[in-house]
Amino acid sequence: MNADVTTGTVDTHCPYCSLQCGMSLRPEQGRVQVVERPAFPVNRGALCGKGRTAAEVLDQRVRLTEPLVRDRGTLRPATWDEALDRVAAGLDSARSVYGDDAVGVFGGGGLTNEKAYALGKFARVALGTSQIDYNGRFCMSSAAAAHGRAFGLDRGMPFPLADVARTGCVILVGSNLAETMPPALRYLTELRENGGKLIVVDPRRTKTAEAADLHLAPRPGTDLALALGLLHLVVAQGRTDEAFIAERTTGWPEARAAAMAHWPELVERITGVPVPELREAVAMFCDADSSMVLTARGPEQQAKGTDTVGAWINLCLATGRAGRELSGYGCLTGQGNGQGGREHGQKADQLPGYRKLDDPAAREHVAAVWGVSPDSLPGPGRSAYELLDALGTDVRALLLMGSNPVVSAPRAAHVEERIRSLDFLAVADVVLSETAALADVVLPVTQWAEETGTTTNLEGRVLLRRRAVDPPPGVRTDLAVLNGLAARLGHEKGFPADPEEVFEELRRASEGGAADYSGISYRRIASEDGVFWPCPDETHPGTPRLFLDRFATPDGRARFVPVSHRASAEEADAEYPVLLTTGRVLSQYQSGAQTRRVAELNAAAPGPFVQIHPLLAERYGIGEGDRVAVESRRGRAVAPARLTGTIRSDTVFMPFHWPGEGRANTLTNPALDPTSRMPEFKVCAVRLSRVAEAAEVAD
């Protein structure tokens, strides 16, 4: 277990967000205590409330401890053999009647690299289906697509977090680090202590925005216009870095022309951000010796998210703030293994090593590692929402691991309906999530502290999460589940249950790819506090900072991509006059399937709410704590009102962690970005009404 015999602790990492904070675990008297790990460089011992209480979900009273199968409409306990037999039969039946693509596989951004790799291989080799994607598509696929277009390579942050504290100015777009990644807030605090400037772009004055030197509050869905307006001012003021543009980029004339169509007064009308604030932002960004732009879900979860991120990248390139020490563009990945989860094959269009599934050379390389013919590998499949939308029609059976789309998917009521229409559903999970409760077979799997495996944090640092405690007797690892299913489907070999054996194969499969892990080993990770990819051999030091010498394009130059503002897929109108945006709160995580089982976290954030400006509330006769119905063209959600002056008066905010009548994703729009296939979670049109209590109705 790699335990410290002097303290009885095991060094590992938090199971939640992409910081993957270092922590130590001390098993004692049947419980597990979380202990600080000050030496780990990312969080330096700091943990948020979710990290501190992470071990609470290991309690057998709040998690699954035996397989469940559905008989006459009810889930009952079963043996592992019965459960796996049923899953194999359910998947095989759909294949035999409707074809291989009638079986879908849906993964998660919290799965370890080993699980993500094995799941992609299982789908394409054991099932022969192209229908695989994962919930990470809902996380940072727009930034990934923009990275690929501009830089030729997608890694969330091309530099370590520590560099953020040393730059001169940061523009943070659509991220509330104070609540979503609290230990990372120290880098922004240190930035300001070092004399640097912080600009926060967010429709709400969040705790993070309160710490900024400048807060820009654009109307939801207008981040693209805002970035173009800033670039217009950079050009108009002669603040471009012409030498950098000439030496290290292509495509500038077209991108410049597109930006110049977005003059400041037009941008103010679109975004609501005053022209003087636009000018102030440009001065802060350009006056500093070095600068960064960091984006998160705000600009990315839009039907134009790829172009929006591209506009912020263009701002960095035009000012020479990319490919240089302490300057650049970075994306704050959300899920625990959001970075690694998309690198090794559970994404619809990718093979391990960030290889493209439709690339003949990539297919040949990976097929050789897998011992199959390249021609046997299916082509690209549907993206996440498109896959969920096809359930019960083209896709008749689904294997789901590490996701809860009944709560987390856009247009969630429709997705729930599609899941219910399946011929067969198998779910592997730690807890009986809202999606697992609909399954024909539920497989109880191990958690982060009960298994060993690697994750890749938002910096591109590959980490080792070590097993610290034994799982309950009735629980198996996801790798053991895939091993058992593959054997039942005629593949006795090729799906080992040992994580290090899987990682060794992953190394070979990734070799020579964009995300090259071939020089990384368990031993090396443990001795170096993680290794940054790409790392092509064991003598290579890893790559903490990308693009300092050249970008990952064929000619080594970054590519400007001309983009122009366009309206959101759904704008406010007379019928639905208010904009809704969604996000997270400090004490819950993603769909809440695990954090909602922790008493301390529930006490801090017990349920959904609607954040609304007092002026907007007055218009609808809504008071603090009143139940508010929020309706979109897709459905209705009801939650208590929280009145605050920290949000725009044309916008309401709802967190998305809860099921039931307060489910925010009942309302959200599944309109997809044409490149990334990201749904438009961050903006849709709604109408509000106060819900009368029973006593009022009686009166």
Choose among 21, 71, 28: nearest CA to 46.
21
Three-class secondary structure of residue 455 per DSSP: strand
Specify the DSSP element, H or E, that contains 429.
strand 424-429
Q: Tell me the mean pLDDT in the region 385-405.
A: 97
Burial profile 266-287: b = 16 or more Cβ within 10 angstroms, e = fewer: ebbebbbbeeebbebbbbbbbe
Q: 0.85 cut: is pTM over it?
A: yes
**Of the candidates 133, 191, 40, 693, which has an alpha carbon nearest to the alpha carbon of residue 390?**
133
Classify residue 661 as exposed, middle or buried by CB count within 10 Å of its CB (0-12, 13-18, 19+): middle
Give the H/E segment covering residue 355. Answer: strand 355-356
pLDDT (tens digit, 9 = 90+) per residue, 14-34? 999 999 999 999 998 778 999
Average pLDDT value for residue range 374-402: 97
Three-state DSSP class for residue 324: strand
**Residue 3: pLDDT above 60?**
no
| pLDDT for the residue numbered 698 | 53
Report pLDDT digits (tens) over 32-89: 999 999 999 999 999 999 999 999 999 999 999 999 999 999 999 999 999 999 999 9
Q: What is the mean pLDDT of the chain?
A: 96
Distance separating alpha carbons of residues 571 and 277, to the nearest angstrom: 25
The residues, ordered by sequence, that sit 6+ positions from 660 with a Cβ below 8 Å of its Cβ are none
pLDDT score recorded for residue 379: 97
Nearest Cα residue to 595 out of 580, 579, 584, 582 = 584
Residues 302, 225: contact at Cβ < 8 Å? no
User: Coil, strand, or helix at residue 27?
Assistant: strand
Residue 611 in 3-state DSSP?
strand
pLDDT, tens digit (0-9, with 9 covering 90-100), for 228-259: 999 999 999 999 999 999 999 999 999 999 99
Mean pLDDT of 477-506: 98
Residue-wise pLDDT for 307-316, tens only, equals: 999 999 999 9
**Within 10 A of 38 (CB to CB), how many other CB atoms are there?**
11
Q: Is the peptide bond before 534 cis (omega within 30 degrees of 0)?
A: yes
Burial degree of 71 (CB within 10 A; 0-12, 13-18, 19+)? exposed
pLDDT for position 236:
98
pLDDT at residue number 1: 42
Return the amino acid letter for 380.
P
Structure tokens that stand for 285 in this block: 């960004």
- Residue 88, classed as helix, strand or coil, is helix
- The pLDDT-based confidence of 5 (bands split at 50, 70, 90) is very low
Spatial contact of 497 and 479, defined as CB atoms under 8 Å apart: yes
Model confidence over 170-209: pLDDT tens digits? 999 999 999 999 999 999 999 999 999 999 999 999 999 9
What number is the average pLDDT over the span 261-276?
Answer: 98
* Confidence category of residue 334, pLDDT binned at 50, 70, 90: confident
- pLDDT of residue 668 exceeding 60: yes
What mean pLDDT do residues 330-355 have? 93
174: left (phi over 0), alpha (psi -120 to 50) or beta: left
Question: In DSSP terms, which residues pair with 679 in a beta bridge?
Answer: 672
- The rounded distance, in Å, linking the Cα atoms of 210 and 111 is 34
Contact between 634 and 687 under an 8 Å Cβ cutoff? The reply is: no
Structural domains of the chain sorted by starting position, each given as residue range(s) with its CATH number in brackets? 3-62 (2.20.25.90), 68-138+337-532 (3.40.50.740), 141-331 (3.40.228.10), 578-698 (2.40.40.20)
Question: In percent, how much of the chain has pLDDT > 90?
Answer: 96
Token pair of 109, please? 């951004």
What pLDDT does residue 6 have?
47
Record the tokens describing residue 440, joined without a space.
């024909």
Inter-axis angle of helices 499-510 and 113-121, to 10 degrees?
A: 70
Closest CA to 462 of 386, 511, 522: 522
- What is the dihedral sign for C-alpha 687, 693, 694, 695? negative
Q: Which percentage of the chain shows pLDDT scores above 70?
A: 98
Q: Does the pLDDT of residue 699 top 70, yes or no?
A: no
**Distances 452 to 271, 496, 510 between C-alpha atoms, Å:** 47, 14, 20
Q: What's the confidence (pLDDT) of residue 8?
A: 85
Pairing of strands 350-351, 249-250: unpaired
| pLDDT (mean) for 545-559 | 98
The closest of 165, 315, 137, 306 to 234, measured between CA atoms, is 315
Backbone phi, psi, residue 126, to 5°: -75, -35
Alpha carbon distance 263, 225 (integer Å): 10
Q: State the pLDDT at residue 31.
A: 85
Q: What per-residue confidence (pLDDT) applies to 333?
A: 85
696 band by pLDDT with thresholds 50, 70 and 90: low
Element holding 226 (H helix, E strand): helix 223-236
Instruction: Answer left, alpha or beta for residue 353, where phi above 0 means left and psi between -120 and 50 means alpha.
Output: left
Q: What are the tens digits of pLDDT across the range 436-473?
A: 999 999 999 999 999 999 999 999 999 999 999 999 99
- Tokens 């009273």, residue located: 61
